[in-house]
Amino acid sequence: MLAPLSWLKDFVDIDVTPEELEKKLFGCGFEVEEVIRYGDKIDKVVTCKILEITQHPNAERLRICRVDAGKYGILQIITNAKNVNVGDIVPVAVDGATLATGDRITSGELRGEKSYGMFCGGEEIGIDDNFYDGASGDGVLVFKDDFPLGEEDRDLLGLKDYVFDISVLANRPDCQSVFGIAREIACALGKPLKLPALDFNAGAEGDGEISVKVEDKELCPRYIAHLIKNVRIEKSPKWMSRRLALCGLNSINNIVDITNYVLLEMGQPMHAFDMKTLADKSIIVRRAKSGEKITTLDEKELTLSTENLVICDGEKPVALAGIMGGLNSEIENDTTGVLFECAKFKRDNIRKSSRTLGKSSDSSKRFEKGVDEYTTELSMKRALHLVCELGAGEVTSTHIDVSAGQAQLNKTVKTTFSAINGVLGIEVPKEKIIEILEKLEFKVEYNGDEITTVAPPYREDVESYPDLAEEIIRMYGYEHITPTLLKDAAITPGGYSAAQSDEMKLKRFLAAQGLSEAMTYSFYSKKDVAALNLPEGAKEGNNVVIENPISDNYEVMRETLVPSLLSAAARNLKRGNYDGRLFEIADTFAPCGDGFPIEEKKLCFVLFGDGEDFFTAKGVAECVAEFFGLKFDLSKRAEKSYLHSGVSAKILLGDSEIGFVGQAAYETAEKFDIDKKVYVGEINYSAIESAEKPTFKFSPLPKYQIVKRDLALVAPKDVTCGEIEGAIISAGKGVIRSAELFDVYEGAQVGAGKKSMAFGLEFYDDEKQLSPDDVDGIVKRVLGSLQHRYGVVIR
């Protein structure tokens, strides 16, 4: 929202500096994003009158002028301009001057003749024709006014101005205008507010044939039209085009400029139709027909749907309601009859139309935020006043006001002073509360602690006492709020729940194992899912789909974190990070009919680099089990299309499969542009959270020595480590506490189809110290069992 200081001053006597004003606005909820300064550079560019012109003796194109520059005296100025004559009053930059461009001017010599300054054109002063006639030309600006000599041009022309770029909060659509902001400033400064002039003479005879019909009253709750006759299309006065320019709008002609001026000043978008183009002299407000077309003022043809609201004449759409007028009803130089439109359109409809059609305007932006009907009425009056003031035409008596329903009621709040102060936590004096509310144009009645307020008509946002509390504190000042620590509140227990705390500890535990926690997006592309080469019906491919993704990369909610972490691994490898261990714990999503999708937490990890293999990945999985005091069965091969069939395992907790660990299948890795071996694991974390976990109890230290013995075995190649280990433990009948493989060898020395395996065994008996003979006996039993079950012999 742009608000020029000079314009604001029409409504409030602002006697503070622009910096102070900025602070005041900030304090009451209006952040000034930028203060744009006009004419603040220009200095010592003054008026002078040309007294005499002579030819430069040494240069054909130059002329020597003698000028009267008032208090700067009679000066000699050399110029190449051809449009100056004796008697002209022109701007001259005297010695030490600064131009609007920031350039400095000093006295100098041109071809042997002294010049004590430089004549200026519009560009040097920073203005154009919109501001002063003749300022857009190439030559020197010749003033048409009889300005006093030697005076600063910036002051004579009113060049100095400050334009505040203010961000307006969504609940204050009434402040999207110069007048709305002025209203706030008046209150903040404690100054009276002057209303804009609204008087007009509607003396001209109207036209009874004009009709307005609103077919969709929901989308257009209010439509006011007024007829202007004998219009003379002209340029707007300079003060008007200057103000439009300060707010970033071009001057078009008097009628169009009046609608834009009212938009900026009052916040009410308006439109002007050329009467001669309105078929049947009628206005119909309706939803567009599907496929109906309109060409807007910017000469773009749009195809509409029934979601778009249009303003039509007897035959065709003539405007896209609230957004832009149609080219077919545009005001032209020969326009003589104008129908003004001042309406209220439903804000979300305007927003949706604006978005779907890709068309946004100053008008649509204001309608999107909301316009109140009080302002709609006020604004039509203001426009008609301006027609009279500019002599742009004759205001007729034809005034048509179509309203959807009952008149808008001002919001009334009945409450108490103590309720208001209760919200704030401080005691704002009663008198102060009343003073602030009255300044904000609330009607206030009170009796003891009770207070009843009626909000001004433009404040549709005020509904109950907390709203009043906000109005009061923003004007009273937030610095009055004194910190207290929930002094009247109950004590409540805080912190993580046991499960949340476990998750955090597990994260730290995994980090201590060398894994870095990653966070990746909860959505990925269908290509990511396809990279898993899933069989028909796989749950990983049954996804919650985003209806309106911002890109193909984020279109489905993930059921598995695997593609996310493979992408992260690929990114690392591409960037030359050849070693990495990443993990993530995050929600995954699976559809569940029409209801809420099922959200399940999963823990996923990916390992890559020289030191990694299946067993390091298996180690991570076991760490997770150990952290919770659980035991995973990792002895069954996984059956996942995206894992290496020979280098992957299911993760079983009891009988239920809760995840997997293994090498990513080559086909899958390839799709992520990974040409190295990468290991992934995923565990359904929710399943672990809900699993019953053993309570930790201390185990007493052994009373006797643990006996250790190594066994070197030769086994047929297809017998697994797990099978041998299992056989050893079971033959050990509780005395062998552990059997761990520490070496494996295949080759000539053990013969084809065989492998050598070395196990370290630990023997312990709770009842007695085991003797070497005891151990020999057990080993013998173990060897017998191994040979019998798997054909394994001692080496």
Partner 1 sequence: MKDKIARIKENIEKSLQEIKTGKELYELKVNYLIGKMSEIPSLMKELGKADKDERPKLGQMINGLKDWATEVIAEKEKAIAEIERRARYEAETIDITMPAKKREEGSLHPVTVIKNELVEIFSGMGFMVMETREIEDDFHNFTALNTPKEHPARDKQDTFYISDDLMLRTHTSPGQIHALKTLKPPFKVIVPGRVYRADDDATHSPMFHQMEGLAIDKKVSLCDLQGMLDVLVKKMFSSNVKTRFRPSFFPFTEPSVEVDVSCFECGGKGCKLCKGTGWIEILGGGIVNRKVIENCGLDPDEYTGFAFGFGLDRIAMLKYGINNIHILYEGDVRALKQFKIL
For the segment 366-395, give every residue that binds partner 1 (CB under 8 A). 368
- Residues 778 and 786: their CA atoms lie apart, in Å, by 12
Give the strand pairing for 598-608 and 678-684: antiparallel
User: Terminal CA-to-CA distance of the chain, rounded, Å?
Assistant: 89
Region from 385-393, 440-448, 591-599, 672-680 binding partner 1, contact rule CB under 8 A: 591-599
Residue 117 or residue 609: which is nearer to partner 1 going by CB? 609
Question: Closest by alpha carbon to 309, among 441, 211, 218, 177?
Answer: 218
Which of 493, 537, 694, 700 is the binder for partner 1 (CB under 8 A)? 493
Q: In sequence order, what E strands does 628-725 have?
A: 643-653, 656-664, 678-684, 707-716
Total of chain residues touching partner 1, rule CB under 8 A: 93
Shortest spacing between CB 262 and partner 1, in angstroms: 24
Residue 565 or residue 719: which is nearer to partner 1 going by CB? 565
Residue 292 or residue 587: which is nearer to partner 1 going by CB? 587
Q: Does residue 405 touch partner 1 according to CB under 8 A?
A: no
Give the strand pairing for 43-55 and 89-98: antiparallel
- Residues 69 and 533: their CA atoms lie apart, in Å, by 87
Residue 116 or residue 583: which is nearer to partner 1 going by CB? 583
Which of 109, 334, 431, 488 is the binder for partner 1 (CB under 8 A)? 488
Residue 197 or residue 481: which is nearer to partner 1 going by CB? 481
Q: Does residue 412 touch partner 1 according to CB under 8 A?
A: no
SS3 of residue 356 by DSSP: helix
Region from 12-20, 107-115, 424-432, 658-666 binding partner 1, contact rule CB under 8 A: 424-432
Q: Does residue 170 touch partner 1 according to CB under 8 A?
A: yes
Tokens of 188: 């903040």
Shortest spacing between CB 648 and partner 1, in angstroms: 22
Region from 6-14, 44-52, 271-279, 462-470 binding partner 1, contact rule CB under 8 A: 462-470
- Residues 481 and 263: their CA atoms lie apart, in Å, by 38
- Residues 600 and 688: their CA atoms lie apart, in Å, by 11
Residue 441 or residue 587: which is nearer to partner 1 going by CB? 587
Which one-letter DSSP state was computed for residue 184? H
For the segment 561-580, give every residue that binds partner 1 (CB under 8 A). 565, 567-569, 571-572, 575, 577, 579-580
- Residues 179 and 372: their CA atoms lie apart, in Å, by 14
For the segment 64-93, give every residue that binds partner 1 (CB under 8 A). none
Cα torsion through 16, 22, 28, 32, rounded to 10: 160
Q: Does residue 546 touch partner 1 according to CB under 8 A?
A: yes
- Residues 757 and 230: their CA atoms lie apart, in Å, by 109
- Residues 174 and 585: their CA atoms lie apart, in Å, by 47
Residue 75 or residue 413: which is nearer to partner 1 going by CB? 413
Q: Does residue 470 touch partner 1 according to CB under 8 A?
A: yes
Shortest spacing between CB 792 and partner 1, in angstroms: 36
Shortest spacing between CB 612 and partner 1, in angstroms: 12
Half-sphere exposure of 272 (CA within 13 A, CB side): 30
Question: Closest by alpha carbon to 125, among 144, 109, 143?
Answer: 143
Provide DSSP, 665-712. Answer: PHHHHHHTT--S-EEEEEEEHHHHHHS--PPP-PPPPPSSPPEEEEEE
Shortest spacing between CB 436 and partner 1, in angstroms: 13
Shortest spacing between CB 546 and partner 1, in angstroms: 5
Half-sphere exposure of 456 (CA within 13 A, CB side): 16
Which one-letter DSSP state was computed for residue 326? B
Region from 71-79, 193-201, 477-485, 672-680 binding partner 1, contact rule CB under 8 A: 477-485
Residues 586 and 522: beta-carbon distance below 8 Å: yes
Residue 405 or residue 493: which is nearer to partner 1 going by CB? 493
Which of 293, 508, 703, 733 is the binder for partner 1 (CB under 8 A)? 508
- Residues 777 and 563: their CA atoms lie apart, in Å, by 53
Q: Does residue 464 touch partner 1 according to CB under 8 A?
A: yes
Q: Does residue 551 touch partner 1 according to CB under 8 A?
A: yes
Which of 258, 323, 378, 473 is the binder for partner 1 (CB under 8 A)? 473
Residue 590 or residue 758: which is nearer to partner 1 going by CB? 590
Which of 347, 430, 526, 677 is the binder for partner 1 (CB under 8 A)? 347
Q: Does residue 511 touch partner 1 according to CB under 8 A?
A: yes
SS3 of residue 374 by DSSP: helix
465: left (phi over 0), alpha (psi -120 to 50) or beta: alpha
- Residues 1 and 267: their CA atoms lie apart, in Å, by 10
Q: Does residue 516 touch partner 1 according to CB under 8 A?
A: yes
- Residues 72 and 95: their CA atoms lie apart, in Å, by 10
Residues 532 and 540: beta-carbon distance below 8 Å: yes
Residue 27 or residue 237: which is nearer to partner 1 going by CB? 27
Shortest spacing between CB 364 and partner 1, in angstroms: 13
Residues 304 and 293: beta-carbon distance below 8 Å: yes
Shortest spacing between CB 566 and partner 1, in angstroms: 10
Q: How many CB atoms lie under 10 A from the CB of residue 794?
A: 12
Q: Does residue 519 touch partner 1 according to CB under 8 A?
A: yes
Residues 679 and 607: beta-carbon distance below 8 Å: yes
Shortest spacing between CB 670 and partner 1, in angstroms: 20
Provide DSSP, 421-458. Answer: HHHHTS---HHHHHHHHHHTT-EEEEETTEEEEE--TT
Which of 409, 512, 748, 752 is the binder for partner 1 (CB under 8 A)? 512
Q: Does residue 622 touch partner 1 according to CB under 8 A?
A: no
Q: Does residue 29 touch partner 1 according to CB under 8 A?
A: yes
Which of 106, 230, 412, 484 is the binder for partner 1 (CB under 8 A)? 484
- Residues 308 and 291: their CA atoms lie apart, in Å, by 11
Which of 61, 487, 697, 768 is the binder for partner 1 (CB under 8 A)? 487
Q: Does residue 586 touch partner 1 according to CB under 8 A?
A: yes
Shortest spacing between CB 259 and partner 1, in angstroms: 25
Q: Does residue 547 touch partner 1 according to CB under 8 A?
A: yes
Q: Does residue 741 touch partner 1 according to CB under 8 A?
A: no
Shortest spacing between CB 587 and partner 1, in angstroms: 6
Shortest spacing between CB 382 and partner 1, in angstroms: 26
Which of 195, 407, 486, 752 is the binder for partner 1 (CB under 8 A)? 486
**256 Cβ contact list (under 8 Å, min separation 6):** 272, 331
Q: Does residue 33 touch partner 1 according to CB under 8 A?
A: no
Q: Tokens 């001042």 appear where?
A: 342
Residue 23 or residue 693: which is nearer to partner 1 going by CB? 23
Residues 230 and 336: beta-carbon distance below 8 Å: yes
For the segment 263-292, give every residue that binds partner 1 (CB under 8 A). none
Q: Does residue 550 touch partner 1 according to CB under 8 A?
A: yes
Which of 58, 80, 106, 478 is the binder for partner 1 (CB under 8 A)? 478
Which of 344, 346, 459, 755 is the binder for partner 1 (CB under 8 A)? 346
Residues 162 and 55: beta-carbon distance below 8 Å: no
Residues 35 and 18: beta-carbon distance below 8 Å: yes
Angle in degrees, CA 607, 612, 613, rounded to 5:
105
Q: Does residue 423 touch partner 1 according to CB under 8 A?
A: yes
- Residues 726 and 378: their CA atoms lie apart, in Å, by 91
Q: Does residue 498 touch partner 1 according to CB under 8 A?
A: no
Shortest spacing between CB 491 and partner 1, in angstroms: 6
For the segment 748-777, give every residue that binds partner 1 (CB under 8 A). none
Q: Does residue 184 touch partner 1 according to CB under 8 A?
A: no
Question: Closest by alpha carbon to 187, among 437, 547, 544?
Answer: 437
